[in-house]
Amino acid sequence: MSEKQLTVLLPVLNEEAAIEKLIHEIFKKMAGELDLTVIAVDDGSDDQTLSILQKLAGDYGGLKIIAHPHRCGKSAALRTAALATKTIWIGTLDGDGQDDPADLLTMTRELDLSTVGEIGLVGGVRRARTDGSSRKFASRFANGLRRSLLKDDCPDTACGLKILPTRLFLSFPFFDALHRYLPAFTRHFGFETRYVTVENRPRDGGVSKYTNFGRAIAGLFDLSGVVWLMRRTKTPGRAFVADQIVAKR
């Protein structure tokens, strides 16, 4: 087993304007440094996203494509990809081109990809967000409320760039907005978290899948549910989980 294996989980929905450029960029910037697999999950796109991905799979042996028959949400797409993963560690990357794959590669240097230790998640923190001022304000408010209730230490949970152990991710209770609470559950399961400053780029095309109002309403319900889940989810701590997922040398 390579000591530098990583599977990148790439959830996509109607990203025909960005996806080809992003796939080329991922393999150009990352494949030379890692034994890399990319699992792209098309979450029910109704444009040419899936066709473009299927064509690109013929060019890149490390690109695997899974298609949902209808939209299931980002967390479901990540879970679908994680269930198909064979590496110890996974990295997450948004499909709209706003995340730079080079930053994900930089984040891997915080870890030993051949094993699992005290660190259970490395997350990106966007240096200068390209979203509008209303989106930034809503995000700051949501981050502050979440951190006060869940006691996590993540300054930018909405950043799409994260790295964590595959089986740790699959151990978390699954619900529709899980991807926004990965740092909180990582700490709840007894692992440490670490954060790296990353870039945030303008979209190459397409539109955001969320509105500020819709995100706020759903977020309040999700947050109350996560508080309940954490109170009801007892874990034996990092040592027990790590014993199941650590690489055997």
Q: How confident is the model at residue 31 (pLDDT cuts 50, 70, 90)?
A: very high
CATH number, position 25: 3.90.550.10
Distance from C-alpha of 137 to C-alpha of 178, rounded to nearest angstrom: 22
Q: 151: which residues sit within 8 A by CB, 6+ positions away?
A: 184, 187
Q: What is this structure's pTM?
A: 0.85
Q: 27: which residues sit within 8 A by CB, 6+ positions away?
A: 36, 38, 60, 62, 63
Largest CA distance in the chain: 49
Q: How many domains does the chain contain in total?
A: 1
DSSP 158: T
- Tell me the residue range of the domain where 137 lies: 5-245
pLDDT in tens, 57-101: 999 999 999 999 999 999 999 999 999 999 999 999 999 999 999
pLDDT in tens, 161-204: 999 999 999 999 999 999 999 999 999 999 999 999 999 999 87
